[in-house]
Structures are given as structure tokens and as C-alpha cells.
Amino acid sequence: MHRRFPVVLLPVLVLLPAIGRGQTDPLVSRTKGAANAPVTVYEMSDFQCPFCKRHAEQTFPALDQEYIATGKVRWIYINLPLPMHRNAAPAAEFAMCAARQGKFWPAHDLLFRHQSTWAERTNPSLFFLSLADSLRATKDKMRTCLEQGETREEIKDDAAGAMRAGANSTPTFYVEGGLLTGAFPPEVWRPILDSVYRARRAKP
């Protein structure tokens, strides 16, 4: 049975950051898909959340192949580290520091793949920094970014926007006017994305 998702009128407005003239869209580094894709999905997620890991590893690869790579969907990651996950915010900082080097999605994959290794560590910083080699990222830049907390405010802004959008658990997805909460298999996603895609394509 497919889960229905309620119509919400404002979330996309609170998820999009203000962009001044001459500035680059800060979401580009954590976006997959064509800018002109008919459908946009915002994923509000927590790197320490087990359900987010399930989505990332068991569902997202199929959606990436079938909808994002084919130009139907643009997918944007929004950080929503939950307070009960003590290492979720540091993990998000690592991902966003990697994003500054064009490595967000590889970092996203590594964090979920190794979630059980870092999730309960008292101090995961050294482990996160060790992942920079796998990313082929500049380690000194990663270290400075992490130690100075250079992406911390951006993550806080992400989380505040996600909560204003109505997300109070992870993963939550904003899909062109509706919210879908939870980790679902591709079989649930396909009819949702197909329906929204057809509706968007039918508009004059």
C-alpha cells in the first residue's frame, strides 16, 4: 500500500536559502540531477539515523539511476541532524566540508557505509579526517574546515529550515508540494515520482 503524503504549501520557501546577486547557489554542491529537471526532491536527513542509512543504501541508488540520471528528478540534500544523535552534527560538518571540495556525495556514501564505526565514538573527528584520503580531498583544507567549524552555521540554517517545513523526524522528503516521512523501498517511490513527473510535464 502506498503511503499518501499531505499537501504542504510553504516548505520549499523555507528550505531555499536567500541568494544575493552574484552569489552561487549554496545548494549546488549537494544537489544531484539536472537544474531543469521537472521534479525536485528535498531530502531532510541525518547521517547517524539508521532509517536514513537504509534509504541511502537500499533505495537511493535505484532512484538515482532511474530518475536523477535520466533527467526527471533533481535531488537536494538538507541537513537535519537530530539532537539524540550525538555525532550527527559532526558528520554533517564533515560532509559539508567535503562539499567545499566538490566531494559531498562521495562523503555522503562513506558516512552511511561506515555509520556503525563512528556513530558511538566519543570523538569521531580523527575517523572523519581519515576518510579524506578515500575522498581524495585536500586533507589540510578538510582539517581546517572541521577544526574551525566553518560549515556549522550552514547546517544550523538547514535544520531550522527543515523544521519550519514540518520535518520533525528523518528521513523526511519534500516532493513538489507534499511531505513523505520514512524510509521506503523504490516500489513506493516509483508511483509517487511517476505521478508528479507526469503532472509537471503536462503543465503548459
Tell me the pLDDT tens digit for each residue of 162-183. 999 889 999 999 998 889 999 9
Q: How far is CA 86 from CA 12, 48, 90, 135, in A?
A: 28, 8, 8, 24
6 pLDDT band, cuts 50/70/90, is: very low
- Say if residues 112 and 52 touch (Cβ distance below 8 Å): yes
pLDDT above 70 for 119? yes
- Dihedral in degrees, nearest 10, Cα atoms 42, 45, 47, 52: -100
Q: What is the mean pLDDT of residues 82-89?
A: 97
Q: Where do the domains of the chain lie, and which CATH numbers do they carry?
A: 30-202 (3.40.30.10)
pLDDT for res 24: 53
Beta strand extents in the chain (DSSP E only): 31-32, 39-45, 73-79, 172-175, 179-181
More confident residue, 202 or 84: 84
Q: What is the mean pLDDT of residues 114-131?
A: 95
Enter the C-alpha cell of residue 183. Answer: 524510509
- Say if residues 93 and 155 touch (Cβ distance below 8 Å): yes
Percent of all residues in the chain with a pLDDT value above 70, rounded to a whole number: 87
Mean per-residue pLDDT of the chain: 89
pLDDT above 90 for 16? no
pLDDT above 90 for 19? no
pLDDT above 90 for 142? yes
Q: Closest Cα to residue 172, out of 157, 187, 159?
A: 159
Triad 50, 168, 195: Cα angle to 5°: 85
pLDDT for res 202: 84
Collapsed DSSP state (helix, strand, coil) of residue 123:
coil
